[in-house]
Amino acid sequence: MENQTSNKEIIALGIRLLIITAIAALILGWAHKITLEPIKQQNIKTNNEAMKEVLPSAESFQKIASKTPEAGEKLELELKADSAVSEVNKALKGTDITGYTIKVAPKGYAGLIEMVVGISSEGKIQGIKILNHSETPGLGANAPNPEFSGQYKGKSIEKPLEVVKTAPSGDNQIQALTGATISSKAVTKGVNDAVDFFKSELKGGQK
C-alpha cells in the first residue's frame, strides 16, 4: 500500500515538473520573441552611429554586401565564406558615393574584435570604430580609446599598416598599445583586411 502511494506521489511530482518546465519554456519563448525586434533595432542604431562616426561626410548608407543577409535582401556583392569582411555599406551624399564602411572581426588576444573601417572613395582611411571586444581591461581594452584608434584616421591605403612599439617614423606605422601588442596587431590586421577588400572590390567607386 505504501509502495502504491509512493509511486503515485512520484508520478504526480513528475507531472507537476513537466507542467512547470513547459510553462517556463513558453515564457522564455515569448520573452525572446518580444525582445528580438528591440534588440535588432538597437543593433541597427549602433551600426548606423558607428558608420556615421567613421564617415561623417555621408548622409546615408546603403548595404551592398553581408555574410548574413536578411530574407529576400538583394545585395550588390557576394562575400565568400572565408572572407575577413562580414558587411559592406556604401556611403552616400545625395547620390554621390563618398566612401565605404567595411566591417571586420580580427582575432585579438582574448577573442574577436568586431570593428568598422571607413574608407573614402579617394582611398584614405577616415576612421575606425571598435564595436565589440573581450580584450584585457587596462591593456587591449584600451584599443577603442582615441589615443590608439585615432592613429588610423587619414592614413593612406597605398602601403599596408604595421605596428611599432616606439613612436612611428613612417606614414604607415601605428604605435602599439603599451603591454598589448597582440591587440594592436589584431586591430591593424582588421584595417588592412578592409583596405585589401576596398582595393580589390570597391576602388574607383564602380560598385
The model's pLDDT over 125-142, given as tens digits with 9 standing for 90+, comes to: 999 999 999 999 999 999
Grid cell listed for 133: 571586444
- Is 168 part of a structural domain of the chain? yes
Total domain count for the chain?
Answer: 1
Alpha carbon distance 153, 147 (integer Å): 11
Q: Which of 173, 99, 96, 107 is nearest to 140 (CA)?
A: 107
Grid cell listed for 161: 599598416
pTM attached to this predicted model: 0.79
- Is 44 part of a structural domain of the chain? no
pLDDT of residue 37: 66
- Residue 183 structural domain: 49-202
- Is 21 part of a structural domain of the chain? no
DSSP state of 138: T
- In this predicted structure, the answer to whether residue 118 has a pLDDT above a threshold of 90 is yes
pLDDT of residue 7: 75
- Is 19 part of a structural domain of the chain? no
Alpha carbon distance 156, 139 (integer Å): 27
Between these two residues, 91 and 16, which has the higher pLDDT value? 91
- Is 174 part of a structural domain of the chain? yes
Alpha carbon distance 46, 159 (integer Å): 30
- Is 41 part of a structural domain of the chain? no
- Phi, psi dihedral angles at 186 (to 5 degrees): -65, -45
- Is 28 part of a structural domain of the chain? no
